[in-house]
Amino acid sequence: MTTYLILSNAIFVILFLLILFEYFALKKSSNKEIASHLERISDTEKRLTQVLTDENKKSELLIAQISEIRKEKEQEAKLRFEAEKQINLAIQKSEDLQKRMMDWKAAQESVMQDAQNAIFKVGEDLYERLSEDYLDEIKNNQNLFEQILRQNTAADKKEEKKSSDNTEIFKTNNRENLAENKKSREDISKKLLNQLKESMINSEHIEGEQYFLNSSFEADKSKLFLCEAAFLQDENLYILDFKGCNFLDEYNQSADKSSAQKSLEQKLDKYVAYLGNPKYREAILKAVNSKNVKFETGDIIFVVASESEITLLESTGYLEKLENSNVKIATFEEIIDLTL
């Protein structure tokens, strides 16, 4: 029994020592694990702290960037507002300028219309004066020739007793010279017109359809046909005026070129205004339209006898004046070639 107790106590002590040993061993192992865990936790905390620090920095950077972007947006909005304001001002200025331009254009058209009316009025006055001056010139020439003839006749009567034969010869020669000079000055346009008419007939052109003379119209329409002839080709009407030939021929036949040029310029000023007057063209077209012919354009042509007369007109500046008045110029030879 005593042995059993001793053995039990010994076993108990041994077990207690084993348990105590296991406890210390377990405690030591646990302390190591705890230390390891604490170390890992510390490392984790450090990493988390670093991550948080980095994230805070990123957040601060993002906040700064957002602030900059906000400022830029605000600046853009401000600039957009200013730009829209400038655009609106520009549009307003453009509209004001356009309105002023429209007003100026209307004023300009009004001035141009007034000027055009004034030019037409001046042209009409020149046209009327030219017609009156032309008739007056013919009448004055007739009166002058009659006066010269009367003077010559009176002189003949006074000298009749002394030298009747010489007086008769003088009268005859003087009358013939006057008549010849008058015919030379007045008939050059008629001469050219007759040659043109002969060319038309030889070319088998039909009067009243392809070419027109004053004789082509009835009395009321012939008054409107202010030119000497007109020729229709390819729906283009050529209005041929020969009256200037007489003025140029008078200048060429004159001995006193200085006074002749002055007279020529006065006549050409009126003649160019006469041809350039719209009513001149309108009257002729109205007469030709009465023949029921078809044409698209009507060109006014100042017909001259030769190239030398074109040179004369160019040297005196009338070639440019004719061009500005929409009047063309051609030699008689060119007109003949046109009608062949």
Find the mean pLDDT for residues 47-76: 82
Per residue in 266-283, is it b (16+ CB within 10 Å) or e — as a string? ebbebbbbbbbbeebbeb
The answer, yes or no, to whether residue 98 has pLDDT greater than 50, is yes
Residue 124: per-residue pLDDT: 55
Please list the residues that pair with 240 across neighbouring strands.
Answer: 229, 301
Residue 138: per-residue pLDDT: 43
Find the mean pLDDT for residues 106-126: 59
The helix-helix angle for 2-158 and 257-276 (nearest 10°) equals 130
pLDDT in tens, 136-162: 654 554 455 456 445 544 554 554 454
154 or 50: which leads in pLDDT: 50
Give the distance between the most distant pair of CA atoms in the chain: 227
pTM for the structure as a whole: 0.48
Query: Are 250 and 189 within 8 A, CB to CB?
Result: no
pLDDT in tens, 278-309: 999 999 999 999 999 999 989 999 999 999 99
Percent of the chain beyond pLDDT 70?
Answer: 73
The answer, yes or no, to whether residue 265 has pLDDT greater than 90, is yes
Residue 292: per-residue pLDDT: 92
23 or 115: which leads in pLDDT: 23
pLDDT in tens, 196-224: 999 999 999 999 999 999 999 998 899 99
Q: Where are the domains of the chain?
A: 187-339
